[in-house]
């Protein structure tokens, strides 16, 4: 009992020491707080925080994160457009949304893009270039509706709600990531109640107060807070929901070469352990046809007579002739003097690929994760090399009739690699890979994390049926922000 | 009346009561100066509270600003009683509630506190004051930083802030029994951590 009491007393001592402790003031903190939260654009007017406590405070986002997000979204959209250009034009809706226009806003109005539109109101449309208008993409993006009758003839305003804009974008075959640029502080989820103080905290009157007094001070804090934590709010975009990353990868393919690639990744937090991850990356892939034994597109290129077409064989029958000679040469070149064959053993390609993955990343523990997903693959460029084996009959010497010895031949085998203009894969796109990976993520600093992620990509569908073996795997290093 | 004088040379010092009152005004000039006075005076106090909950210094400094945003936005609702030291105690209690709330929101958003086991706490040599019989605050904080987030939070809320287990359970959205269990584990672990670096019992003396 004494020991326990002693322990209790020591815990209280520790608690007292913690309560009485204060950190030193960090010079410059007030100036930073003033700049971030209090200063407004108009030097004369006070910031919203000072005007009305109930006004929501818009918190600045780190522009680095914002610009990174925009760049990642732009890369993703660009990649999708690059891979599926036809689908965009096919999905443009024929029926134009209801267009509203101020009189004389655009000089080229009245063309097909506006025909059939309902009555024009006195509202405005988003000002776009006419070529965008004609492409149809802008048509899908613009829909202005307003019930306001005021005259906007001299100005342009963006009117459509975001969800409607996103719908129009999707019709145009585009995918957009909409990132709310500003945060609004939201109601805290914590239930704050005045503690029932049972033990003496300090010598002040605070330690003696009960629920009644403190609840009168704090009781409505929970309900009336108009400024609360940005973190955890449902309607705000928390920067912790999104994670950006730069990735570099080294991979091995069927050609047994080491290839490298890199790109950006974006992850969205679905839950505390699960993330939806996407991104875009460029990589050089060296791929090859399967090993000999599998039928390739062609095993025999052909055969040709030796440049010295004169017969140097033994006296006697010249041997097979005509087509029979050729067919013998294709099977047994040594039987036909002066012929060589060329066998296509395989081909390899060096591909420049664009990979857009969509993965689910799950943290098994706080550091280790596993990921599974699919990739959409586009092949931007292909450099193909054919690999041949040439069997050349080389006569060692002439003179069978001179020295009475049999003419002998030696089979000389040459391995020849030859670049070809044949590029069957270039420009193709596939949906594409099954991705598997496991990894470990470590927080390097407050804002930066590093993950090492061995991965494996398995081609599926049309990609699997290609002659090239596109299976690859390697290790990826991602720096997260 | 306790004077808060951050302007040497000025005869009219700004008292805490006046500073709090002026913060609720629409007069921009007085409001801004009052905010500066309160910010600089209670920065260390709020940072010390937040550092008990949040490990990283950078996160803690951000949360200090977050807390001050809440303070200034709601300072018009603060009702203090008494004068001088009594008023300051009321005010500090109110500040303490706000920054504890901010810290818990932060931890909840980071989802760090849901880990039931030790998380990425690396074994490091802790800068203990070996020669001193009493633990310094920085040593106590170093020990507490090695606790899992949930245990550390419960320890802070119960021992330091003075909440009971029912209130803690409601704040953290955990069962009542969990609060008791984790407080016991926190204390046990603190003892074990300390004893691992020292040969004598810290709390049995």
Structural domain boundaries in chain A: 189-224, 241-481
| Lookup: tokens for A31 | 């100036």
Long-range contact list for A56-64, CB < 8 A, 24+ apart?
A: A56/A184, A56/A185, A56/A226, A56/A227, A57/A184, A57/A185, A57/A227, A57/B69, A57/B73, A58/A182, A58/A183, A58/A184, A59/A182, A59/A183, A59/A185, A59/A230, A60/A36, A61/A181, A61/A182, A61/A183, A61/A239, A62/A239, A64/A481
CB distance A303 to A326 below 8 Å: yes
Q: Mind listing the pLDDT tens digit for each residue in B28-42?
A: 678 888 899 999 999
- Looking at the DSSP bridge assignments, the partners of residue A305 are A339
Say yes or no for a CB contact (<8 Å) between A191 and B94.
Answer: no
Spatial distance between the Cα atoms of A183 and A36, rounded to a whole number of angstroms: 13
pLDDT at B27 over 70: no
Tell which B residues from 166 to 185 touch A, by Cβ distance under 8 Å.
167, 170-171
User: Which is more confidently placed, A242 or B155?
Assistant: B155
| Lookup: tokens for A210 | 């009960």
Question: Residue B19's closest CA among B42, B44, B37?
Answer: B37
Say yes or no for a CB contact (<8 Å) between B114 and A272.
Answer: yes
Segment among A1-15, A257-271, B153-167 with least mean pLDDT: A1-15
Q: Which residue has the tokens 């776009």?
A: A128
Q: What integer pLDDT is reported at residue A217 of this predicted model?
A: 42
Which H/E stretch holds residue A212? helix A211-218
Q: What integer pLDDT is reported at residue A85 of this predicted model?
A: 53
Q: What integer pLDDT is reported at residue A358 of this predicted model?
A: 94
All residues of chain A having their beta carbon less than 8 Å from the beta carbon of residue B38 are: none
CB distance A296 to A344 below 8 Å: yes
All residues of chain B having their beta carbon less than 8 Å from the beta carbon of residue A218 are: 94, 97
- A253-274: average pLDDT: 86
Say yes or no for a CB contact (<8 Å) between A191 and B170.
Answer: yes
| Lookup: tokens for B152 | 């550390």
pLDDT at A254 over 50: yes
Instruction: State the pLDDT confidence band at A299, using cuts at 50, 70 and 90.
Output: very low
pLDDT at A436 over 90: yes
Say yes or no for a CB contact (<8 Å) between A33 and B108.
Answer: no
- A254-259: average pLDDT: 78
Spatial distance between the Cα atoms of A208 and A196, rounded to a whole number of angstroms: 10
| Lookup: tokens for B90 | 């009321």
Q: Mind listing the pLDDT tens digit for each residue in A359-397?
A: 999 988 878 999 999 999 999 988 888 888 777 555 544
Q: What integer pLDDT is reported at residue B17 of this predicted model?
A: 87
Q: Domains in chain B and their CATH numbers?
A: 1-110 (1.10.1740.10), 114-205 (1.10.10.10)
- B142-161: average pLDDT: 90
Parallel/antiparallel/unpaired status of strands A258-269 and A242-252 = antiparallel
Q: What integer pLDDT is reported at residue A375 of this predicted model?
A: 92
Q: What integer pLDDT is reported at residue B53 of this predicted model?
A: 92
Residue A272's alpha-carbon distances to A65, A183, A342, in angstroms, are 21, 21, 61
Segment among A190-199, A460-469, B166-175, B183-192 with least mean pLDDT: A190-199
User: Which is more confidently placed, B78 or A145?
Assistant: B78
Nearest-CA distance B11 → chain A (Å)? 23
Segment among A256-265, A359-368, B11-20, B165-174 with least mean pLDDT: B11-20
- B94-122: average pLDDT: 72
- B55-82: average pLDDT: 90
- Looking at the DSSP bridge assignments, the partners of residue A429 are A378
The DSSP symbol for A294 reads B
pLDDT at A101 over 60: no
Tell which B residues from 21 to 80 touch A, by Cβ distance under 8 Å.
26, 28, 31-32, 35-36, 39-40, 43-45, 47-48, 51-52, 56, 58-59, 61, 64-66, 68-70, 72-80
User: Which is more confidently placed, B164 or A82?
Assistant: B164
Say yes or no for a CB contact (<8 Å) between B59 and A240.
Answer: no
Question: Residue A348's closest CA among A417, A397, A281, A410?
Answer: A417
Q: Mind listing the pLDDT tens digit for each residue in A134-188?
A: 444 444 444 444 444 444 344 434 344 444 444 444 444 444 333 344 434 344 4
How many CB pairs below 8 A link A and B?
189
Q: What integer pLDDT is reported at residue B55 of this predicted model?
A: 86
For B137, the closest of A21, A227, A367 (CB atoms) is A21
Average pLDDT of chain B is: 80
For B48, the closest of A23, A206, A224 (CB atoms) is A23
Quote the pTM value.
Answer: 0.39
Whole-angstrom Cα Rg for chain B: 19
Instruction: State the pLDDT confidence band at B152, using cuts at 50, 70 and 90.
Output: very high
E strands along A104-226, which residues?
183-184
The set of residues, in sequence order, having a beta carbon less than 8 Å from that of B60 and lying 6+ positions away, is: B47, B50, B51, B54
Q: What integer pLDDT is reported at residue B159 of this predicted model?
A: 92
Spatial distance between the Cα atoms of A79 and A354, rounded to a whole number of angstroms: 8
For B109, the closest of A18, A37, A240 (CB atoms) is A240
Average pLDDT of chain A is: 64
State the CB neighbour count (10 A cutoff) for residue A92.
Answer: 15
Q: Three-class SS of residue A357?
A: strand
Spatial distance between the Cα atoms of A288 and A138, rounded to a whole number of angstroms: 43
Say yes or no for a CB contact (<8 Å) between A53 and B45.
Answer: no
Instruction: State the pLDDT confidence band at A83, using cuts at 50, 70 and 90.
Output: low
Q: What integer pLDDT is reported at residue A212 of this predicted model?
A: 47
Nearest-CA distance A2 → chain B (Å)? 10
Instruction: State the pLDDT confidence band at B124, using cuts at 50, 70 and 90.
Output: very low
Distance of CA B131 to the CA centre of its chain: 28
pLDDT at A297 over 70: no
E strands along chain B, which residues?
3-4, 14-15
Spatial distance between the Cα atoms of A136 and A92, rounded to a whole number of angstroms: 6
Instruction: State the pLDDT confidence band at B78, using cuts at 50, 70 and 90.
Output: confident
pLDDT at B70 over 60: yes
Best of B25, B70, B147 to mutate (most A CBs within 10 Å, chain A): B70
Q: Mind listing the pLDDT tens digit for each residue in A305-350?
A: 444 444 444 444 444 444 554 555 555 555 555 555 677 778 888 8
Question: Residue A19's closest CA among B127, B91, B156, B133?
Answer: B156
Q: Mind listing the pLDDT tens digit for each residue in A402-426?
A: 555 555 555 667 788 888 888 888 8
Spatial distance between the Cα atoms of A37 and B59, rounded to a whole number of angstroms: 17
Question: Residue B121's closest CA among B112, B129, B130?
Answer: B112
Q: What integer pLDDT is reported at residue A409 of this predicted model?
A: 54
């Amino acid at each position: 009992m004494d020991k326990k009491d002693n322990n209790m007393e020591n815990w209280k001592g520790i608690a007292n020491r913690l309560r009485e402790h204060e950190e030193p003031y960090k010079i410059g903190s007030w100036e930073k707080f003033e700049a971030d939260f209090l200063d407004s654009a108009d030097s004369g007017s006070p910031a919203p925080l000072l005007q009305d406590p109930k006004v929501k405070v818009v918190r600045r986002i780190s522009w680095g994160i914002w610009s990174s997000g925009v760049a990642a979204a732009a890369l993703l959209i660009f990649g999708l457009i690059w891979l599926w250009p036809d689908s965009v034009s096919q999905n443009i809706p024929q029926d134009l949304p209801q267009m509203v226009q101020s009189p004389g806003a655009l000089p080229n109005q009245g063309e097909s893009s506006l025909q059939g539109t309902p009555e024009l109101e006195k509202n405005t449309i988003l000002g776009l270039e006419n070529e965008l208008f004609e492409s149809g993409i802008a048509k899908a993006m613009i829909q202005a509706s307003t019930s306001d009758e005021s005259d906007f003839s001299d100005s342009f305003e963006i009117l459509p709600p975001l969800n409607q804009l996103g719908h129009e974008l999707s019709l145009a075959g585009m995918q957009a990531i909409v990132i709310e640029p500003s945060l609004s502080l939201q109601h805290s989820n914590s239930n704050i109640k005045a503690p029932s103080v049972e033990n003496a905290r300090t010598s002040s009157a605070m330690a003696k107060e009960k629920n009644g007094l403190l609840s009168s001070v704090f009781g409505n804090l929970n309900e009336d807070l108009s400024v609360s934590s940005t973190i955890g709010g449902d309607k705000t975009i928390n920067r912790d929901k999104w994670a950006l990353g730069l990735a570099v990868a080294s991979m091995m393919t069927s050609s047994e070469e080491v290839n490298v690639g890199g790109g950006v990744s974006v992850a969205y937090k679905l839950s505390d352990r699960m993330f939806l991850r996407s991104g875009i990356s460029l990589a050089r892939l060296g791929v090859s046809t399967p090993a000999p034994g599998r039928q390739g597109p062609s095993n025999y290129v052909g055969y040709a007579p030796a440049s010295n077409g004169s017969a140097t064989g033994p006296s006697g029958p010249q041997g097979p002739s005509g087509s029979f000679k050729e067919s013998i040469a294709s099977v047994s070149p040594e039987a036909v003097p002066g012929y060589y064959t060329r066998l296509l053993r395989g081909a390899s390609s060096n591909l420049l690929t664009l990979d857009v993955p969509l993965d689910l990343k799950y943290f098994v523990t706080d550091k280790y994760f596993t990921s599974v997903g699919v990739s959409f693959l586009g092949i931007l460029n292909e450099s193909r090399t054919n690999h041949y084996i040439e069997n050349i009959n080389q006569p060692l010497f002439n003179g069978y009739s001179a020295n009475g010895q049999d003419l002998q031949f030696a089979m000389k085998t040459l391995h020849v690699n030859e670049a070809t203009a044949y590029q069957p894969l270039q420009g193709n796109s596939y949906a594409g890979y099954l991705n598997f990976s496991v990894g470990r993520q470590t927080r390097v600093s407050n804002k930066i994390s590093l993950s090492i992620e061995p991965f494996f990509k398995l081609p599926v569908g049309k990609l699997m049926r290609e002659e090239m073996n596109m299976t690859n795997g390697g290790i990826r290093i991602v720096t997260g922000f | 009346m306790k004077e808060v004088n951050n302007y040497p040379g000025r005869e009219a010092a700004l008292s805490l009561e006046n500073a709090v009152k002026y913060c609720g005004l629409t007069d921009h000039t007085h409001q801004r100066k009052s905010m500066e006075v309160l910010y600089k005076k209670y920065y260390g106090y709020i940072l010390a509270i937040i550092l008990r909950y949040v490990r990283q210094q950078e996160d803690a400094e951000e949360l200090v600003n977050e807390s001050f945003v809440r303070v200034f936005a709601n300072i018009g609702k603060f009702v203090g009683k008494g004068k001088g030291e009594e008023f300051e105690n009321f005010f500090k209690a109110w500040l303490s509630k706000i920054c504890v709330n901010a810290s818990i929101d932060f931890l909840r958003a980071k989802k760090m506190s849901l880990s039931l086991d030790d998380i990425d706490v690396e074994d490091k040599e802790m800068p203990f004051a070996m020669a001193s019989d009493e633990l310094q605050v920085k040593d106590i904080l170093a020990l507490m930083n090695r606790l899992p987030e949930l245990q550390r939070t419960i320890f802070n809320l119960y021992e330091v802030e003075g909440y009971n287990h029912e209130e803690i359970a409601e704040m953290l959205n955990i069962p009542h029994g969990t609060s008791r269990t984790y407080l016991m584990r926190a204390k046990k672990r603190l003892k074990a951590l300390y004893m691992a670096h020292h040969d004598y019992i810290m709390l049995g003396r």
